[in-house]
């Protein structure tokens, strides 16, 4: 679909009369992370849209220095409009996709009915601070540092998936993105934008609008600390929370049998 900032790759499937669900992936991998989710949601009678964020998968890599929340919000709003998907929708976001979903709620009041957050970004995540993070955001220095890191290292999901077999499958999908021009530039633009910032104000808007919210988190998540999770639960006291013992950051991909049932109950109740 041709949008104002470029082409967006998407898939829309499921019962045309079902509740509309939007799946937003994170910044570690494209929409293939929903491969183990979308079928079960469709079988539950839902109408499901998943798409590649700009800079990921088969969507364009706009030549912008910063990929900020405005870019991602506009992408989603335009895609829903072009596909003539009526509001309100149900939004499911993982990692950075969770913060994008919360930002969409904040800037589009009344357009989201429920919000499911799977290992979402809130106010802190590993690697967001420190000297290296600051250098990466610096013009020229960031490009130089990135050239020192191979594609396989950038695509490495060791900190996100525990199963060696599933990690290999998803890493192969992530590696495919580097065949397309602009992937490394898009990674830097994402880091230099504000979509990875402290997202507290967006979640405050979720609370103020009374959006029903689900939260899941794996106890072995190396990207999102438990303290951050607790702060979000304090901010949203009515949140439905599921803690997954022994699961990592991409638990929805690695353990769909543990994530999909409560997710479907939440979306369809």
Residues of the chain with pLDDT > 70: what percent?
A: 88
Q: Which domain holds residue 208?
A: 2-268
Over residues 134-141, mean pLDDT: 57
Tokens of 257: 């049998």
Q: Is 166 exposed, middle or buried (0-12, 13-18, 19+ CB in 10 A)?
A: middle
Residue 266 confidence (pLDDT):
98
- CATH number at 44 reads 3.40.50.1820
pLDDT at residue 140 is higher than 60: no
pLDDT at residue 151 is higher than 60: yes
Tell me the backbone φ, ψ of residue 218, rounded to 5 degrees: -90, 135
Over residues 5-19, mean pLDDT: 97
Domain count, the chain: 1
pLDDT at residue 247 is higher than 50: yes
- Residue 126 — pLDDT band, cuts 50, 70, 90? low
- Residue 222 — pLDDT band, cuts 50, 70, 90? confident
- Residue 235 — pLDDT band, cuts 50, 70, 90? very high
Dist. CA 14–CA 48, nearest whole Å? 6
Question: pLDDT by residue (tens digit) across 81-95?
Answer: 999 999 999 999 999
Question: pLDDT by residue (tens digit) across 22-72?
Answer: 999 998 899 999 999 999 999 999 999 999 999 999 999 999 989 999 999
Dist. CA 220–CA 120, nearest whole Å? 14
pTM for this prediction: 0.92
- Residue 193 — pLDDT band, cuts 50, 70, 90? confident
Over residues 242-248, mean pLDDT: 95
């Amino acid at each position: 679909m041709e949008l104002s900032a470029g082409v967006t790759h998407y898939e829309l499937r499921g019962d045309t009369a079902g509740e509309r669900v939007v799946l937003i992936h994170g910044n570690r991998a494209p929409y293939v992370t929903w491969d183990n989710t979308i079928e079960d949601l469709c079988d539950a009678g839902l109408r499901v849209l998943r798409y590649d964020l700009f800079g990921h998968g088969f969507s364009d890599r706009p030549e912008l220095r910063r990929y900020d929340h405005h870019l991602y919000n506009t992408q989603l709003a335009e895609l829903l409009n072009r596909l003539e998907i009526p509001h309100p929708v149900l939004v499911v976001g993982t990692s950075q996709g969770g913060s994008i979903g919360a930002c969409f709620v904040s800037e589009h009041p009344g357009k989201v009915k429920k919000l499911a957050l799977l290992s979402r970004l809130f106010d802190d995540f590993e690697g967001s601070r420190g000297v290296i993070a600051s250098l990466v955001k610096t013009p020229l220095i960031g490009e130089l540092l990135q050239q020192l890191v191979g594609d396989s290292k950038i695509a490495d999901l060791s900190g996100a998936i525990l199963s060696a077999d599933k990690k290999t499958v998803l890493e192969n999908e992530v590696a495919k993105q580097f065949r397309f021009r602009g992937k490394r530039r898009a990674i830097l633009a994402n880091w230099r934008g504000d979509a990875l910032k402290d997202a507290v104000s967006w979640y405050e808007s979720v609370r103020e609008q009374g959006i029903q919210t689900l939260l899941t988190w794996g106890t072995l998540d190396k990207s999102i600390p438990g303290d951050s999770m607790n702060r979000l639960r304090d901010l949203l006291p009515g949140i439905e929370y599921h803690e997954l013992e022994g699961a990592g950051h991409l638990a929805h991909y690695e353990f769909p049998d543990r994530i999909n049932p409560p997710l479907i109950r939440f979306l369809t109740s």
